[in-house]
Amino acid sequence: MTEAPLLEVENLVKHYALSRGWFGAPRVVHAVDGVSFNMERGETLGLVGESGCGKSTVARCIVRLIEPTSGSIKVNGRDVAHLAERDMRPMRRDLQIVFQDPFSSLNPRHRAGAIVAEPLVNFGLAEGAELERRVAELFERVGLRKDQLNNRPHEFSGGQRQRLGIARALAVNPALIVCDEPVSALDVSIQAQVINLLGDLQRDLGLAYLFVAHDLAVVEHISHRVAVMYLGEIVEIAPRDDLFDAPQHPYTEALLAAVPSPDPRNKRKRRLIEGEVPSPISPPAGCRFHTRCPIAEARCKLEAPRLRAIAPGHEVACHLRAPRISGKSAKLNAETAR
């Protein structure tokens, strides 16, 4: 067990500076504020949260479409957080991304075959007849027909375009594909097909997915583990079943309660949170969730809770649900830290 995890994200921070006023201090958007997690090979980690909580920012930092303000992102033990693009390029073979919008993520002027061929050409993986064969293979792999090779993106449906995006990401045989809400722009019936395709590919190729979404049903279906983000921080991270059966953080509870359940016997406590997400420009002091938390106490306003293990692999950032000093949790902390 000495091999480094596929992905180690530590204390990832991304701040955006807004224009400063004439005299005031510069204003900063705290998009991501100290996010840490690990991922193993072949694993799917779901990353959920409301719009604007920073989950897409985390995704884009990991594939280095944006440079994080601070923190480290280790891929196979190598920190890519602050690599120059020239040094980053070879790392991209392990690290691919599928975008949310299958319409804008494909260049409308290019043919489908050329879009999928681009990564192969960039990395010098194939050329000539070999290139054509590889592209045809990828088309087949994601369920597209070979006679669509010369079509342009607008001739495809939304689901087919997303398949194209997946084929492009697959072309370089990555170890991790970051899926930035890959199905939220698709019709529900198409969503299932794409999700199943992702599942098949994982089974056959041993891919790991960082699956960013706000649709909890989709996340529950595809993930091994789930991390919940609120206002730039991870508030709870746990194996899927633990998280969905026994959510600990009040925010997770509220998120799950908001999911309509088709099963009348399923009696999740229905406790909806009120109010709006506070501004990430001036996040609340103490626990960031205290302004909307149904169980908040005085100290939640003063002291920010850290992620603490309450069971193996199950970490929660809450003063009340994961109390600080107890022999048991300290030991668990030590265990999970290892």
Please give the Cα distance from 247 to 220 (Å, whole number): 13
Binding to other proteins, residues 277-316 (CB under 8 A): none
Confirm if 117 and 135 have CB atoms less than 8 A apart.
yes
Supply the minimum distance, in Å, between the C-beta of residue 265 and other proteins: 43
Q: Based on CB atoms, which residue is closest to other proteins, 50 or 132?
A: 132
Interface size with other proteins, residues (CB under 8 A): 39
Please give the Cα distance from 119 to 131 (Å, whole number): 11
CA neighbor of 39 nearest in space, from 53, 58, 23, 17:
58
Please give the Cα distance from 112 to 130 (Å, whole number): 17
* 110 counts as binding other proteins under rule CB under 8 A: yes
- State which amino acid sits at residue 200: D
Supply the minimum distance, in Å, between the C-beta of residue 88 and other proteins: 9
- Asked whether the CA dihedral 217, 220, 222, 226 is positive or negative, the reply is positive
Interface stretch with other proteins, choices 13-21, 46-54, 92-100, 307-315 (CB under 8 A): 92-100
* 135 counts as binding other proteins under rule CB under 8 A: yes
Binding to other proteins, residues 156-185 (CB under 8 A): 165, 168-169, 171-172
**CA distances from residue 190 to 76, 147, 185, 297 in whole angstroms, order as listed:** 34, 21, 10, 45
Q: Out of 15, 74, 111, 306, point to the residue binding other proteins (CB under 8 A).
A: 111
CA neighbor of 168 nearest in space, from 208, 113, 129, 101:
113
Supply the minimum distance, in Å, between the C-beta of residue 90 and other proteins: 8
* 68 counts as binding other proteins under rule CB under 8 A: no
Please give the Cα distance from 303 to 297 (Å, whole number): 11
By DSSP bridging, strand 208-213 and strand 44-48 are: parallel
Interface stretch with other proteins, choices 58-66, 197-205, 302-310, 322-330 (CB under 8 A): 58-66
Supply the minimum distance, in Å, between the C-beta of residue 27 and other proteins: 20
* 99 counts as binding other proteins under rule CB under 8 A: yes
Furthest-apart CA pair in the chain: how many Å? 69
Q: Based on CB atoms, which residue is closest to other proteins, 130 or 303?
A: 130
Interface stretch with other proteins, choices 108-116, 197-205, 263-271, 272-280 (CB under 8 A): 108-116
| Binding residues vs other proteins (CB under 8 A) | 60, 63, 65, 85, 89, 92-93, 96-97, 99, 101, 104-111, 113-114, 117-119, 121-123, 131-132, 135, 149-150, 152, 154, 165, 168-169, 171-172
